[in-house]
Chains A and B, each alone.
Chain A
Amino acid sequence: MDDFTHGFEIVEDQCRGKLACLRACPTHAIRVRNGKASLKPEFCIDCGVCFSVCPSGAIRPTTLTFADIHKYKFKVAVPSPVLFAQFPMAVSIEDIVRGLLSLGFDSVWNYSTELALVDRGIKEYLENWKGPYPLISITCPVVVRLVQVLYPGIVDQLIHVQPARELAGRVLKRKLSEELGIDSGDIAAIYISPCQAKTISILKPAEGSESSLDGAIGISDVYNHILADRLARKKEKPKDLSDNLIPDAGILNWATTNRHGRYLSLHQYLSVTGLRYIIQVFDDIEKGRLRNIEYLECYSCWDGCVGGNLTVDNIYTARSKIRRLLEELPDSDPELEAAVKRRFPHEDFSLNRRIKPRTLGEKVSSLEAGVKRMGFEKAVKMNLPGIDCGLCGAPTCDEFAKDLSWGRANQKDCIFFSDKSLRELRKLYRAKSQ
């Protein structure tokens, strides 16, 4: 079986068995036994909903700590465009860059050019694509994993063009090692991430065999420092940081959810945010119901990456901040455009490995056995109360019936079948509340 590392971990000691994660998980990947949550790793798509709803703080994102980062010789921060939308207007982009440098980063990489390059890469890929449609963006790692787990039939429609952050990691190592004469192995590209899902796409990429980035730190981990740094320095004359600053509005467009609307007409392009809506649209794709759409951009978080679970500001103020920044910046920068034109023919956007469906759970030995299991599942379901209380440890009665049919659970786990189970649960949760 594949080895799965995930974007977060469940800290067993802290888990109080409150079932919030169990109920929230969109792929039913969590079970709670003896008051402790555990994961069926092959079903986890790293969406982070469990992390957001856990009332006990028992689910932690596996981002890096600063101690991890300091072991590298030359550290480059690669901030997600969402970072710039997190602060009050009084904190300028320059302040944010300065804050990152004072945190110990040796450089901050603005990947406007790589974003524009990837835009073009996508456009070209679309033009050469013969179908089936729509092609689906792989910017959001959760979407990639959702397709691998629940929609294996459309896995070939995930667009095989590297996400811009990956291209940025590769380019910055090449450039900085040339310019500064450092071995590229000594350069660490650290993504400043709005969500833990992008961390896992770096540690355990589904999109390629190896990430060009070396790790990620959450926006929430750098937020306080950047603000404090800004307050401490307010009187100091700023030194020239122009190399690090953002030349045009392109990068901020990437923090919005309508990145490709600019060159794809609305008939051919859809932007979908929020996992439950993405699931509806994917169901329609499988039925052949979504016609005439050529490209789909999907973001697991509602309203896109500004809604990521490692962001600080609420999505509405963040969005308004982006709009104001967009007004201040020029639409395009001639220098950036020239760089894109020059570099485009030489840039390789391809993924270094095909994205494949994930192998899930047990294999049915034969079609007959599968039909028999399904019949058993149906019969069991009829006897269950259908109230989805979650006390058996499975999120729904249907899921419990499935677990039973695979021999992964015992009917007595259901309190409707066993008074003993109820007594044990009572004991367990009373003890926990004391």
Chain B
Amino acid sequence: MAEKLLTRSYKVRGGDYDKAGEVADEIKKILKDLQIAPQLVRRTVVITFEGEMNMVMYAHEGTISFVLTNEDITLRIVDTGPGIEDIEKAMTEGYSTATDEMRMMGFGFGMVLPNIRKNSDIFNIESALGNGTSVTSIIRLNENG
């Protein structure tokens, strides 16, 4: 495994809509500072934001950890939420368990997980009812790698 050059870990609290997006801003700043290619920055930021938003909407609390190596960026989005009953269903575009209230606020279009997968080079999700959800997303720095 390639050497870890930089690691960061952020706590996210459920229901904290106000702060949602701050982790994505933070990670964006780091990647821009490191002069990572704009398209990679954008993909990473979208994944982070979706993960953050998902936690704010469904979980009690969670962590987003960020690991950078010379080869890739790994995001681990782990929460202590209710867990997902049917992962396959949850991965379908447009499928959402969002409440009407969430939808009225413009959230819950059922694109979160599909969007994270779409922007990842490697995507993995593990979840069990009552035991939270853990998403791992890897973005390769070298497009051919």
Contacts and interface: CB of A to CB of B under 8 A. Distances in A.
Interface of A: 152-155, 283-284, 286-289, 291, 357, 363-364, 367-368, 370-371, 374
B49 interface: yes
Chain A contact residues: helix, strand, loop or mixed? helix
A287 B24 contact: yes
Contact of B34 (A152, A154, A286, A364): A364
B46 A367 contact: no
Nearest to A372: B5
A374 B38 contact: no
B5 A371 contact: yes
A200 to B, nearest CB: 24
A288 B50 contact: yes
Given A286-B28, A288-B50, A371 B70 contact: no
Contacts of B70: 367-368
B30 A153 contact: no
B101 interface: no
A153 B38 CA distance: 4
Interface in B7-56: 21, 24-25, 28, 30, 33-35, 38-39, 41-42, 45-46, 48-50
Nearest to B4: A371
B68 interface: yes
B106 interface: yes
B98 interface: no
A433 B131 CA distance: 69
A283 B20 CA distance: 13
Given A153-B38, A371-B34, A289 B21 contact: yes
A129 B64 CA distance: 34
B22 to A, nearest CB: 10
B80 interface: no
Contact of A370 (B28, B35, B46): B35
B50 to A, nearest CB: 7
B34 A370 contact: yes
Contacts of A288: 45-46, 49-50, 115
Nearest to A363: B35
A374 B42 contact: no
A115 B127 CA distance: 55
Contact of A153 (B6, B33, B35, B41): B41
A374 B50 contact: no
A367 B109 contact: no
Nearest to A369: B34
Contacts of B106: 291
Name the residue among A287, A291, A367 with the largest chain B CB count within 10 angstroms: A287
Nearest to A132: B42
A283 B68 contact: no
Contacts of B68: 367, 371
Name the residue among A154, A283, A357, A363 with the largest chain B CB count within 10 angstroms: A283
A121 B89 CA distance: 42
Interface of B: 5-6, 21, 24-25, 28, 30, 33-35, 38-39, 41-42, 45-46, 48-50, 68, 70, 106, 109, 115, 141
12 contacts: A155-B38, A286-B42, A287-B24, A287-B25, A289-B21, A364-B35, A367-B5, A367-B34, A368-B5, A368-B70, A370-B33, A374-B34
Contacts of A153: 38-39, 41-42
A374 B24 contact: no
A152 B38 contact: yes
A286 B28 CA distance: 9
A338 to B, nearest CB: 43
B21 A287 contact: yes
A283 B26 CA distance: 12
A367 B42 CA distance: 18
A290 to B, nearest CB: 10
A374 B30 contact: yes
A283 B21 CA distance: 10
A274 B33 CA distance: 25
Contacts of A374: 6, 30, 33-34
Contacts of B39: 153
Nearest to A150: B32
A175 B24 CA distance: 52
B105 to A, nearest CB: 12
A288 B49 CA distance: 8
B38 A357 contact: yes
B137 to A, nearest CB: 14
Contacts of A370: 33-35
Contacts of B48: 287
A131 B70 CA distance: 31
A152 B31 CA distance: 13
B25 A283 contact: yes
A286 B48 CA distance: 11
Instruction: Give the 6 A-B residue pairs with the shortest CB-CB distance, closest first.
Output: A153-B38, A287-B49, A153-B42, A152-B38, A288-B46, A370-B34
Contacts of B45: 286-288
Nearest to B52: A287
A133 to B, nearest CB: 13
Contacts of B141: 367
A289 B111 CA distance: 12
A283 B106 CA distance: 17
A371 B39 CA distance: 20
